Amino acid sequence: MRIIILSRRKLFLTFLFLFTVGGFFAISQRSMTTIPSLVKTPGTYYMVNTQQKVVALTFDDGPDPVDTPAILDILKAKEVRATFFVLGKAAQSNQYLLKRLAKEGHEIGNHGFSHDYQQRRLVEEMNQTNEVVFAATGNHTYFYRPPGGFVSKSQLEKTKSNGHVVALWSVDSKDWRNPGVKQIVNNVMKNVFPGSIILMHDGGYQRTQTVKSLGSIIDALKERGYRLATLSELRMLDSDTK
């Protein structure tokens, strides 16, 4: 038997390679799950085909008692309506914010109840969140955004059967990384295009950078001639659905 002795550096590099390859294989094999920031998943709503300079701002993981009101204040001052994908747990504890969202003309989407990336209780959690939203606003949710954007073919079919449309995104602000206000603005403005859906967050963790970047993003979009709409309004412009 031949014994191979590796240096510490070679051992580290070998481990790193195996870890990276193994992680990628695990993700790709998990029920054929795709990641929308890398792959535009067929059968989902992540942009619209339009020449009109209209985009949609979307916010995930709220409502948060600190950051959501700050974001709503900015949107109100800028006269912009957005779509908020709420978590059932957070919504249940902050129903007054659901009422404010509806009152100020924003659209409320469904982000599940507990932010379970594997979505083991997909339909049950979707319905739980829908019930919380309906109790507070009298409106049902229509768009569903899976936690992390992970969606398998079977989950996509279950979501459709439950009367929801899977809504992902085409522009990631990457505010979840807290990379700095300037970088968040650049991430949006370098990648935006007519019909794009922009991903941001109003809950989950401290979103101070999101709040500070939002006004600049809206101003920059308007300076380029963009109009901001809800997901439902944006979808009406899709030439593929006419």
CATH at residue 224: 3.20.20.370
pLDDT given at position 238: 87
Domain count, the chain: 1
With respect to residue 19, please indicate whether it lies within any of the assigned structural domains: no
H-state helical runs in the chain: 8-29, 67-78, 88-93, 95-103, 122-137, 153-161, 181-189, 208-223, 231-235
Query: What is the mean pLDDT, run by run of 10 residues, along the chain of 242 residues?
Result: 42 44 39 42 91 98 98 98 98 98 98 96 98 98 96 95 97 97 98 97 94 98 98 90 52
For residues 87 and 109, give the distance between their C-alpha atoms in angstroms, rounded to a whole number. 9
HEC string of 60-79 equals EEECCCCHHHHHHHHHHHHC
With respect to residue 201, please indicate whether it lies within any of the assigned structural domains: yes
With respect to residue 42, please indicate whether it lies within any of the assigned structural domains: no
Cis bond leading into 63, ω under 30°?
A: yes
With respect to residue 40, please indicate whether it lies within any of the assigned structural domains: no
Question: Which residue range forms the structural domain that includes residue 219?
Answer: 54-241
For residues 69 and 75, give the distance between their C-alpha atoms in angstroms, rounded to a whole number. 10
With respect to residue 22, please indicate whether it lies within any of the assigned structural domains: no
Catalytic residue among 106, 111, 115, 201: 201
Dihedral angle, C-alpha 222, 224, 225, 227, nearest 10 °: -50
Q: Which amino acid is at 180?
A: G
Half-sphere exposure of 84 (CA within 13 A, CB side): 31
pLDDT given at position 104: 98
Q: Is 60 a catalytic residue?
A: yes
With respect to residue 48, please indicate whether it lies within any of the assigned structural domains: no
Catalytic residue among 60, 172, 175, 202: 60
pLDDT given at position 184: 98
Strand 227-229, strand 54-62: pairing: parallel
pLDDT given at position 17: 45
Q: Is 61 a catalytic residue?
A: no
pLDDT given at position 107: 98
Among 193, 172, 201, smallest CA distance to 55 is for 193
Query: Given phi > 0 = left and psi -120 to 50 = alpha, else beta, which region is 74?
Result: alpha
Task: Give the DSSP letter string of 87-104.
Answer: -HHHHHH-HHHHHHHHHT
With respect to residue 80, please indicate whether it lies within any of the assigned structural domains: yes
pLDDT given at position 142: 98
pLDDT given at position 36: 42
